[in-house]
Amino acid sequence: MSLNPRLRDWQGRTAWVIGASSGIGQATASALHAAGARVVVSARQAALLDEFVAAHPGSRALPLDVLDLPALRAAAAEVGPVDLCVYCAGYYRPMGAAGFDLAEARRHVAINYTGALHLLDALLPQLLAAGGGHLSLVSSVAGYRGLPRALAYGPAKAALTHLAEALYLDLHPRGIGVSVVHPGFVATPMTAQNDFHMPAEIGPDEAARAMLAGWAAGEFEIHFPKRFTRFMKLLRLLPYRLYFPLVGKVNR
């Protein structure tokens, strides 16, 4: 059973991807463009957005910082009604308790979560007025449960997942689609910081294909690669007395 209206035919549809300067966001914007969507790309790095537009005729760049609420409001008004908006802005630095940094922790929350709240303020009135459209929030399997070195990143992504769940309950009866994306390890500038083996790592293009397939199937949760994310889902079911010793071994 599909939990959302299926997004299959992108011809003539407008997709706004926020966080499209690199990684998963850029690959998803490119895949949507190839499928026939009118793509609008946003991020802080205007030069990278201009490169995207040059390589994808008919697309449009709207540079912005998700922490700048007036800029987001102005961009939402300029984009107008959207069939899909993807919040893919993200920030990651490995952090453990011994290296706790308050400023860094706050930055994780600001970009990974508060920026999504800014987007809701700017976009929800349009979606509600239209009685349609789809909002997709890109979270992470790091938000499933507490993980080593994810003291700042994991909680922020967990909050984003919770936000998507609450939004679905409110917006689905109004005909508005909501989905949450839980990637495993994807080769991006963010994951390049990791100094450990990343099991089942995939490329951004494969991630983008999985996301388009998830929207086409009307899924609420889109997770990939499944050979890894299904294992992570099983870990969520373990009681703490089993979970902590098992995950603790990985951190040694």
CA distances from 195 to 66, 80, 88, 142, 249 (A): 28, 42, 23, 16, 17
160 contacts: CB under 8 Å, gap ≥ 6: 112, 113, 116, 137, 139, 143, 180
Residues designated catalytic: 153
For residue 176, pLDDT over 80 is answered with yes
Higher pLDDT, 184 or 200: 184
Chain segment 120-169, per-residue pLDDT in tens: 999 999 999 999 999 999 999 999 999 999 999 999 999 999 999 999 99
For residue 98, pLDDT over 90 is answered with yes
Q: Is 222 helix (H, G, I), strand (E, B) or coil?
A: strand
User: What is the pLDDT at residue 81?
Assistant: 95
Q: What does R_g of the chain's alpha carbons equal in angstroms?
A: 18
DSSP for residue 35: T
Distance in angstroms (rounded) separating the CA atoms of residues 60 and 111:
23
For residue 57, pLDDT over 60 is answered with yes
Q: Sorting pLDDT into bands at 50, 70 and 90, what band is 196? A: low
32 token code pair: 């949507």
Contact status, residue 113 vs residue 64, Cβ threshold 8 Å: no
* DSSP states of 170-213: HHGGGT-EEEEEEE--B-STTGGG--S--TT-B-HHHHHHHHHH
User: What is the pLDDT at residue 200?
Assistant: 81
pLDDT (mean) for 178-185: 95
User: What is the pLDDT at residue 252?
Assistant: 54
Q: Sorting pLDDT into bands at 50, 70 and 90, what band is 198? A: low
Taken in order of first residue, the domains within the chain and their CATH numbers are 14-250 (3.40.50.720)
User: What is the pLDDT at residue 250?
Assistant: 67
Distance in angstroms (rounded) separating the CA atoms of residues 158 and 165:
11
User: What is the pLDDT at residue 194?
Assistant: 67
